[in-house]
Amino acid sequence: MNGKNWMIVWLAAGMAALPRGVLAWGPEGHAVVGDLAAGLLTPDAKRQVKSILGNKRLGDYEVSSWPDEIRGAQEYEKRYPGNGRWHFVEFNVSEKYDEDFELKLPGDGHDIVTQVGRWQKELAAKGNRMPRRRDALKFLVHFTADLHQPLHCAYRYGDMGGNMIPVHSFQGRNYRISAEDAPEHLPDLHSVWDECMVYELMAGRSRPAFAKALQEGIGGEQLRRWSQGPPFDWATDSYWRARKQAYRWANGENLPFKWARPGMDLTSENYIDARLPLVQEQLQKAGVRLARLLNEALDPDYAPPAVGESALPPDGGKAPAAGGG
Ligand SMILES: [Zn+2]
C-alpha cells in the first residue's frame, strides 16, 4: 500500500480527527483502558462516575484523551501549570544495573507517578467541585493508561521515550505521506507504541469487541495480582518492559540509537509479533489498576482483592534481571 492509501486507512479509522498522540497511548489505547475499567467498578463507584460524567463514559475520547487535547492550550497551562510533563516519567534505560541502581522521580512533582496519586486524591476529596472534580477524573483515567505504555516510563540517550527514533515502515507500510510532512508527524518508535501496535492488536475488531476480548482474557489470579502495589511499582514495571522489550528487536538485540531518517523497518518477524503480547498485557493491567484507583477514590467500602501466597508472581514482584541491558 502506498503512503496515500495508508493515510486513507488512518482517516477511515478516525485518526485524523484527533490530535496525534505524541506522548500518549493513541485514542484507541486510552479508550479501551477506560472501557475495561468501567466493567470493573463497584456499583457505588459506577454511580459516582455517572454523576460526574453524565452521559459520557470513561472510554469516550472526550474523557480518556482529554489531557492530550488540552496540552499546550494557554487556558489550561494557567489552570494546570506544567501539565505537559504529567504524561511521563524519564527513567534512564542505559543506567547500569548494579548495587547503586535506583529509579528516582524528578522530585518537583511534574511526573506521571506523582500525578496519578495526586488526581486520585483530588477525585476522592469531597470538597472538590465541578469542573475540578471532573478534570481530576479525566486526568486519572488518562495518566493511569499512559503509565502502562512502557515508553512513557523510559528514555535512552535523550530520545524522549523513543520520540526521536525514526521508524521508516511498519509491517511493510511506509506511512510517510509526502515530503512536506511536518517532522513531528513522521512515525517514530514512541508513536508506533501509542498507535500502530494497538491497531495491530485490534486486528480490525471494533473497539467494544476488542475491549470484550481483553476483559475475557483477564483471569482471577491476574486481577488480584495486578490490583496490588503503588503506581511507582507500576512505573518501574513499565520501565523494565521498555528496557527488556520495547527497546529491543525480537532477537533480544538493542534497537539502533540512530536519530537520522529513514529509520527502522519493523516487521512481524523482527519486532511486532514478539511485542504484541506485551501491548495486550499492559492495556489489561492499566484497566484493572484504573478500576482499583477509581473504586478506592469513590467507594468507601471498597477493598482491593486480597492476594494469596499462591497468587504472588513467581519473582515476588521484583524487577527482572537486567543482564545485558
Ligand atoms: Zn498522555
> What pLDDT shows up at residue 175?
61
Give me the pLDDT at residue 57, please: 97
Per the structure block, which three cell numbers stand in for 109? 512533582
pLDDT for residue 179: 54
Structural contact between residues 194 and 24, judged by C-beta atoms closer than 8 angstroms: yes
Element (H, E) at 170: strand 167-170
Angstrom distances, CA of residue 296 to CA of 24, 54, 292, 301: 25, 20, 6, 8
* Cell numbers describing residue 133: 472534580
Q: Rounded to the nearest whole angstrom, what is the distance from the C-alpha of residue 142 to the centroid of ligand 1?
A: 6
Q: How many angstroms does the Cα of residue 23 sit away from the middle of ligand 1?
A: 5
Is there a cis peptide before residue 67, judged by omega within 30 degrees of 0?
no
pLDDT of residue 220: 93
In the reported structure, the alpha carbon of residue 159 is separated from the centroid of ligand 1 by a whole-number distance in angstroms of 17
Q: What are residue 168's phi and psi, to 5 degrees?
A: -85, -45
Q: How far apart are CA 135 and CA 205, in angstroms?
A: 30
Class of domain 3-298: mainly alpha
Please enumerate in sequence order all residues whose Cβ is within 8 A of that of 150, keeping only pairs 6 or more positions apart, or say none: 193, 238, 239, 241, 242, 245, 246, 278, 282
- The region, left, alpha or beta by phi > 0 then psi within -120 to 50, assigned to residue 30 is alpha
How far away, in angstroms, is 68 Cα from ligand 1 center? 5
For helices 43-53 and 273-298, the axis angle rounded to 10 degrees is 90
Size of the chain, expressed as the number of residues it contains: 325
Q: pLDDT tens track of the chain, all 325 residues?
A: 444 344 334 333 333 333 333 445 778 999 999 999 999 999 999 999 999 999 999 999 999 999 999 999 999 999 999 999 999 999 999 999 999 999 999 999 999 999 999 999 999 998 888 999 999 999 999 999 999 999 999 999 999 999 999 999 998 887 654 555 555 557 899 999 999 999 999 999 999 999 999 999 999 999 999 999 999 999 999 999 999 999 999 999 999 988 888 899 999 999 999 999 999 999 999 999 999 999 999 999 999 888 764 444 444 445 444 444 4
- What pLDDT is stored for residue 11 in this prediction? 36
What is the structure's pLDDT at 183? 52
C-alpha–C-alpha distance, residues 159 and 161, integer Å: 6
Domain boundaries, the chain: 3-298
Ligand 1 centroid vs 65 CA: distance in angstroms? 7
Expressed in angstroms and rounded, the spacing between residue 71 Cα and the centre of ligand 1 is 9
Q: What is the pTM of this model?
A: 0.86
Handedness of CA 11, 17, 23, 27 (dihedral sign): negative
- Span from the CA of 112 to the centroid of ligand 1 (angstroms): 9
Determine the distance separating the centroid of ligand 1 and the alpha carbon of 214, expressed in angstroms. Answer: 21
Task: Measure 137 CA to ligand 1 centroid, in angstroms.
Answer: 14
What is the DSSP secondary-structure string of 112-149? HHHHHHHHHHHHH-TT--TTHHHHHHHHHHHHHHHTTS
pLDDT score at 5 = 40
Ligand 1 mean position to 324 CA, how many Å?
Answer: 30
What gap in Å lies between CA 21 and CA 142, rounded to an integer? Answer: 12
**Using CA atoms, how far apart are residues 128 and 135, in angstroms rounded to an integer?**
10
The CA 182 to ligand 1 mean position distance, Å, reads 21
- Separation of 31 CA from ligand 1 center, angstroms? 12
End-to-end CA separation in angstroms for the chain: 36
